[in-house]
Amino acid sequence: MDPIADRIFLETTRRYAPPRLARDDVAIALHLAQVEPGKPIADLGCGFGRHLAAFIEQGHPHPLGVDRSALLLDEARAQARSARLVRADLRALPLHAGSIAAAFCFYSSMFLGSESDAHGALREAARILRPGGTLVLTTDNPLRLAVRPRARYEEDVAGLGHVAEESTWDAATNVDRVTKTLTTAGGESLSATFSIRYYAPPHLSALALAAGLVLRRLQPDAPLTEETPQLIALLEKVP
pLDDT mean across residues, the chain: 94
CB atoms within 10 A of CB 27: 13
Shared domain check, 26 and 103 = yes
Better pLDDT: 156 or 2:
156
What is the reported pLDDT for 157?
A: 82
What is the reported pLDDT for 4?
A: 85
Shared domain check, 57 and 7 = yes
CB atoms within 10 A of CB 47: 26
* pLDDT tens, position by position, 87-130: 999 999 999 999 999 999 998 888 988 999 999 999 999 999 99
Q: How confident is the model at residue 1 (pLDDT cuts 50, 70, 90)?
A: low
Residues 59, 51: Cα–Cα separation, whole Å: 13
Q: Is the whole model's pTM more than 0.85, yes or no?
A: yes
In degrees, to the nearest 5, what angle opens at C-alpha 14 toward C-alphas 52 and 69? 65
Cα-Cα-Cα-Cα torsion 74, 80, 86, 92, nearest 10 degrees, comes to -110
* pLDDT tens, position by position, 42-53: 999 999 999 999
Q: What is the edge-to-edge ordering of all strands in the sheet holding 189-197?
A: 150-157, 161-170, 175-183, 189-197
Q: How far is CA 84 from the centre of its chain?
A: 18
What is the reported pLDDT for 221?
A: 86
Q: How confident is the model at residue 15 (pLDDT cuts 50, 70, 90)?
A: confident
* pLDDT tens, position by position, 143-172: 999 999 999 999 998 888 899 999 999 999
What is the reported pLDDT for 158?
A: 81
Shared domain check, 225 and 130 = yes
* Helices (H), ranges, 34-155: 50-57, 70-79, 115-128, 142-147
Q: State how many domains the chain has.
A: 2
Residue 3 has pLDDT above 80, yes or no: yes
Shared domain check, 184 and 147 = yes
Shared domain check, 40 and 129 = yes
The residue range of the domain holding 180 is 143-195
- CATH code of the domain covering residue 106: 3.40.50.150
Shared domain check, 166 and 64 = no
Given 195, 210, 228, the domain boundary residue is: 195
| 8 Å CB contact between 216 and 234 | yes
CB atoms within 10 A of CB 41: 25
Mean pLDDT across the stretch 16-40?
95
Shared domain check, 130 and 174 = no
Mean pLDDT across the stretch 28-42?
97
What is the reported pLDDT for 184?
A: 87
User: How do 213-219 and 189-197 pair as beta strands?
Assistant: unpaired
CB atoms within 10 A of CB 237: 22
Residues 72, 46: Cα–Cα separation, whole Å: 8
| 8 Å CB contact between 65 and 7 | no
* pLDDT tens, position by position, 169-227: 999 999 999 999 999 888 889 999 999 999 999 999 999 999 999 999 999 888 889 99
